[in-house]
Chains A and B, each alone.
Chain A
Amino acid sequence: AQTVTQSQPEMSVQEAETVTLSCTYDTSESDYYLFWYKQPPSRQMILVIRQEAYKQQNATENRFSVNFQKAAKSFSLKISDSQLGDAAMYFCAYTGTYKYIFGTGTRLKVLA
């Protein structure tokens, strides 16, 4: 069975600084997708970034980028130039066939 692990329940970052959120996963599938979702206090889930497993190039979306290490089954999210609006719960998610498997989440606090 597939699993997703986020080992950092909470992280803090100073405004304008960079922070990295960790995610590891376990799977025997060769074709899969990985995602980072943001859940602000409104609780609306927002897609931050996604990575196809067959692509070696790390995905980037403006200030957000991932470090995808397929052999190590690691998928970390780097947030550059952190802003107050980045404060939220961040969930790592895996999908192979159709279901998502979510990690337990990391609460990110941004300090002014």
Chain B
Amino acid sequence: GAVVSQHPSWVICKSGTSVKIECRSLDFQATTMFWYRQFPKQSLMLMATSNEGSKATYEQGVEKDKFLINHASLTLSTLTVTSAHPEDSSFYICSARKTGTVAKNIQYFGAGTRLSVL
């Protein structure tokens, strides 16, 4: 199997607070994890690539100081939305790639986190 757990599934917070989202690969090791943002009725937009033990690589236009990514182990990556504002409200999805396998190009996705900033 290849299960990716994402927590929480839904979070509501006040403007100005920070929110942390966790992404765990439950039954495999993942050197690389990805964070996406999805607006209603739109496709997934890659925000950043998270590599275990090193700094994340952010896509153009994504504020790295706003969206802090930490990949401290081979099974866990976290996304922290700092000083969240209503415009940060969205659906955030993580994915993970298995390490060292033939199927290394397959990404396995978490169930997503709905963030609502009041």
- Cross-chain contact B106 with A102 (CB below 8 angstroms): no
- Cross-chain contact A44 with B32 (CB below 8 angstroms): no
- Cross-chain contact A43 with B91 (CB below 8 angstroms): yes
Cα of A47 to Cα of B49 in the assembled complex, Å: 20
Smallest CB separation, B54 vs chain A (Å):
14
- Cross-chain contact B44 with A47 (CB below 8 angstroms): no
The yes or no answer to A30 lying at the interface (CB within 8 A) is no
Interface on chain B toward A: helix, strand, loop, or mixed SS? Answer: strand
- Cross-chain contact A45 with B93 (CB below 8 angstroms): yes
Classify chain A: how many residues form its interface, as a range. 10 to 19
For B32, the chain A residues whose CB sits under 8 A away are: 98
For A45, the chain B residues whose CB sits under 8 A away are: 44, 93, 95, 109
Cα of A99 to Cα of B57 in the assembled complex, Å: 11
Cα of A42 to Cα of B114 in the assembled complex, Å: 11
The yes or no answer to B105 lying at the interface (CB within 8 A) is yes
Smallest CB separation, B103 vs chain A (Å):
8
For B46, the chain A residues whose CB sits under 8 A away are: 99-100
The yes or no answer to B101 lying at the interface (CB within 8 A) is no
Smallest CB separation, A34 vs chain B (Å):
10
For A100, the chain B residues whose CB sits under 8 A away are: 34, 44, 46, 95, 107
13 A-B contacts (beta carbon < 8 Å): A35-B106, A44-B111, A44-B112, A45-B44, A45-B109, A99-B34, A99-B46, A100-B44, A100-B95, A100-B107, A103-B43, A104-B43, A105-B42
Further contacts, 19 of them, CB under 8 A, given A45-B109, A91-B44: A33-B105, A35-B106, A43-B38, A44-B111, A44-B112, A45-B44, A46-B109, A91-B43, A98-B32, A98-B49, A99-B34, A99-B46, A100-B34, A100-B44, A100-B46, A102-B44, A103-B43, A104-B43, A105-B42
Q: Please report A residues at the B interface, Cβ cutoff 8 Å.
A: 33, 35, 37, 42-47, 50, 91, 95, 98-100, 102-105
